[in-house]
Structure 1
Amino acid sequence: METYWETLRDAEFPVARNWAYLDHAAVAPLPRRSAMAIRAWADDQAEHGAVDWPSWERKVEALRDGLAAWIGADRDEVAFVSSTTHGIGLVAEGFPWNEGDHIVVPAEEYPSNIYPWMNLASRGVAVRLVPTRDDRVWIEDLRDAMDARTRMLAVSHVEFASGFRNDLDALGELCRSRGVAFFVDAIQGLGPFEIDLARTPIDFLAADGHKWLLGPEGAGFLYVRRDWIERLRPLGVGWHSVVGSFNSPEVAFRLKPNAQRWEGGSFVMPGLQGLAASMSLLGEIGSRAVSERILDRAEAVREAAASAGWSVLGSKRPPDRSAIVAVAADGVDPQAAVRSLRGEGVVAACRRGRLRISPHVYTNDDDVRRLREALAACRRRGETRADGPEYP
């Protein structure tokens, strides 16, 4: 099986010639086929204008089918958005709030899953931030924060800094039992984990494709469970939101009966062409194999960090772990370590005072060895903070 991954690495990931790239929780490098798809689209438009637009649209609709199948949804429940933040905003602003309602959110969420909810304060809607304990988001704490005015629970599948994996099945059942809507920021979970929305009771889900799905930035999707489509107010309405042609002689405001009503105007066409190619690659591997391989590589990273004298942070329970590995070492500033690692050809990130490492399917044992050696060198030197860029 290792031969398969090496062949895939050589064929699809030119980044591996230059870097031990371990930062997929930030921005992933494009597979070769995705870069080719974007270049082909750009050349096509440069040479032919919009003559071939129908073929571009067919690829976009095939991508919609593929994403729906990847998460166990129906294509009518999937809308394309420009970012996870965009999708969260559509849910936050379109939800049927009443003054005095509130939302429960873990305090360690990425800002994009906090600020859109806080922005509802002018409508009389409050946010209850629930602190973590022992690097875990405890279901009991989320439950205790709920009361009769709780309308929404908003969580990430995987917390971006700690790598803690929330139990979506358990949280979904909690929300159902309380009559609370359930929103999931899935950007750090899709890829490392399989999601089956036919089983897991999630009402809304948003994710961009530029992390674990290996797509370009600016191409993501929003899932709206079918029974919410008529209840969630559509925002950004335009020509693509309605039934009928943009070229119809009469004005007929009839919203599409599916999630496409949130696709008000033109697509981010090059991004979606690239994401379609990336999803074709992941589809060839298979969601189960992708998940197993990424999680296996994350365990190899944990072992390498520990052997280099770094502390592996976060919950020790296997069900709580994800493909994000957070580590720290006494006397080593994590932002300085990021710069030092890049000097050794290793790409990682710093998030909230921790060094964050995030491998993918093509990460091989040589990458892990380079990481271990670079971490050991950082620890020996005791890297301290110095002026320099804060990498994304």
Structure 2
Amino acid sequence: MPGLLARTRRSTIPARHRCFTGSISAKPNTNASISSAPISPPWPFLNAVSAATSHLIMCRKDIRANGSNTRSAPAAPYGDKLVIDNRFALLRAQLPYQADLTFLNTSTLGLSPQIVVDTVVQNIRAFEEKNSSGQHDEHWLVVKGQAAELLGCSANEIALTRNTTEGANVVCSGLPFTPGDEIITSSHEHTGNIFAWLGRAQRDGLHIKVFEPAPSAAETLTRIEALYTPQTCALSIPHVSCANGQVLPVQDIGAWARDRGLWYFVDGAQAAGMIPVDVASIGCHAYATSGHKWLLGPKGTGLLYVREDALDLIRATYIGAYSNEGPFDLASGQFQFHPSAQRYEYGTLNGAFVAGLGAAFTWLGDFGFDSIFRHDRALADQLREGLKQLDIETLSPDEPAARSAIITFRLANMPYADLQSFLMKNYRLRVRGIYEGGLDAIRVSLHLYNTVADVQRVLEAVEAAKKV
């Protein structure tokens, strides 16, 4: 949107505006404490599931033998051709899920494959035998390396969390707001994100300004721009709307925010594992996602990316035994934060869950995120076309760049709660009702374990519901 940005760019930022104005730093974090010793994994998942991944990650630029931590080059764009991958039809046997239900709700919780479940169980047993939590920085760094490869950053910019909500709270609580500051967000926010901002606004006298995502990227950016004032300090934007699956123009928004010196947080709960993500291109200060949605990891896993040059900007407010580096002294007050995003890991995490997340990365990577993306989008486009032929109102965007594997629709003759009940009772379809943004609709999320038969089943059920 060069024209739009050129028309509205301000030559100066008000003196009161304390917001960070730095650009993305490509400088490697040579102070990060990454051991140069080779990893000798004690975890069952590294031995039995991901030994090859461990070797691969150690050979990548994200974790070099000499201890530097430069990010690898961004992954090549995913292919444009959307193809349903018939290999995935065989995956049902690897999913410990009720066979009589058609699962269409990955946006809430993904189905973990059996290898992930087994990895968690094996590691719980192994850790209990040793009376250990499984907290091990070097082996956790392998999983962080897998996450960094997916998100397009360095391993030292990744913190392990329990969910997207925790990551959002870390960012929201850590930014140095003052009374009167304004935050721009969308009407499609999940409660797990927006509640953190509402709470901070209530506590510190901040103002939240809301825009409705538009059908096109250009109009969405125009609506954001219309809310901007000299008091605007931050944006909290979903990468993909949890309400209707719209992919927001996060890269254009990032450029717009950077020109105005705004802090920029992206909620990636509905993106990682479903669409390509490159946080460097987005230009955000922080990006949070869940491991238990499209990444199919254990429930209670998440990832927080904080850009290297924003680590001191987003101050860690929950601090524990893993947040520091070096000695501390009560008498003198000596304390030093860890130089990486590990500073946000303030207490004991479930090591078995981290191992399971690593197994999920490996399992998905074996199929290829490119293939998964194209498969998911092809199914979603097929459902979209089928709903169109049935003359059903579809709330998901038509603009190709804004489409995802989420399709949201509604019927004029049936409220969402009744329709959700109808689909489950009569067709055994597990979907989610959508009240966010006042949409009163049904959301269908299609992932690699879904098939053309699942799409046809939805269309059959919707056609029947339309006649009720």
TM-score for the superposition, normalised by structure 1: 0.89
Change (3 A) 1:138 1:3: closer
Matches of 2:270 and 2:420, distance apart in 1: 20
- Residue number in structure 2 paired with 1:389: none
**Matching residue within 399, 402, 407 for 1:325:** 407
Matches of 1:12 and 1:215, distance apart in 2: 14
Q: Does 1:97 align with 2:180?
A: no
Change (3 A) 1:362 1:152: same
Measured after TM superposition, the shift of residue 19 of structure 1 is: 2.4
1:65-214 alignment to 2 at 5 Å? Answer: 65-121=145-201, 122-133=203-214, 138-214=220-296
Matches of 2:170 and 2:409, distance apart in 1: 35
1:333-370 alpha-carbon deviations (Å, 9 max, x no partner): 22222222223222111011101000101211221222
Matches of 1:185 and 1:31, distance apart in 2: 25
Matches of 1:311 and 1:129, distance apart in 2: 25
Measured after TM superposition, the shift of residue 216 of structure 1 is: 2.3
Aligned 8 A contact 2:327 2:335 in 1:
no
Q: Does 1:358 align with 2:445?
A: yes
Matches of 1:330 and 1:130, distance apart in 2: 25
SS at match of 2:422: helix
Measured after TM superposition, the shift of residue 89 of structure 1 is: 1.1
- Residue number in structure 2 paired with 1:378: 465
Aligned 8 A contact 1:23 1:347 in 2:
yes
Change (3 A) 1:100 1:26: same
SS at match of 2:338: coil
Change (3 A) 1:336 1:57: farther
Name the amino acid aligned to 1:76.
N
Measured after TM superposition, the shift of residue 251 of structure 1 is: 8.6
Q: What is the total number of aligned residue pairs between the two structures?
A: 375
Measured after TM superposition, the shift of residue 323 of structure 1 is: 1.4
- Residue number in structure 1 paired with 2:383: 301
Measured after TM superposition, the shift of residue 101 of structure 1 is: 1.5
Matches of 2:234 and 2:140, distance apart in 1: 31
Aligned 8 A contact 2:134 2:352 in 1:
no
Matches of 1:284 and 1:89, distance apart in 2: 33
Aligned 8 A contact 2:319 2:344 in 1:
yes
Matches of 2:395 and 2:216, distance apart in 1: 8
Aligned 8 A contact 1:135 1:314 in 2:
no
Name the amino acid aligned to 1:95.
L
Matches of 1:76 and 1:168, distance apart in 2: 23
Q: Does 1:275 align with 2:366?
A: no
Measured after TM superposition, the shift of residue 377 of structure 1 is: 2.1
- Residue number in structure 2 paired with 1:368: 455
Name the amino acid aligned to 2:360.
S
**Matching residue within 288, 294, 314 for 2:370:** 288
SS at match of 2:280: coil
Measured after TM superposition, the shift of residue 40 of structure 1 is: 1.1
1:8-19 alignment to 2 at 5 Å? Answer: 9-15=91-97, 17-19=99-101
Aligned 8 A contact 1:19 1:345 in 2:
yes
Measured after TM superposition, the shift of residue 134 of structure 1 is: 5.6
1:43-54 alignment to 2 at 5 Å? Answer: 43-50=125-132, 53=134
- Residue number in structure 2 paired with 1:28: 110
Aligned 8 A contact 1:106 1:129 in 2:
yes
TM-score for the superposition, normalised by structure 2: 0.75
Measured after TM superposition, the shift of residue 42 of structure 1 is: 2.4
SS at match of 2:236: strand
Name the amino acid aligned to 1:6.
A
1:205-257 alpha-carbon deviations (Å, 9 max, x no partner): 111111111122211011111101122211111111111489xxx99522111
Aligned 8 A contact 1:95 1:232 in 2:
yes
Measured after TM superposition, the shift of residue 324 of structure 1 is: 1.2
SS at match of 1:17: coil
- Identity within the alignment, %: 25
Name the amino acid aligned to 1:280.
T
Change (3 A) 1:368 1:16: farther
Mean alpha-carbon deviation: is it higher for 170-179 or for 131-140? 131-140
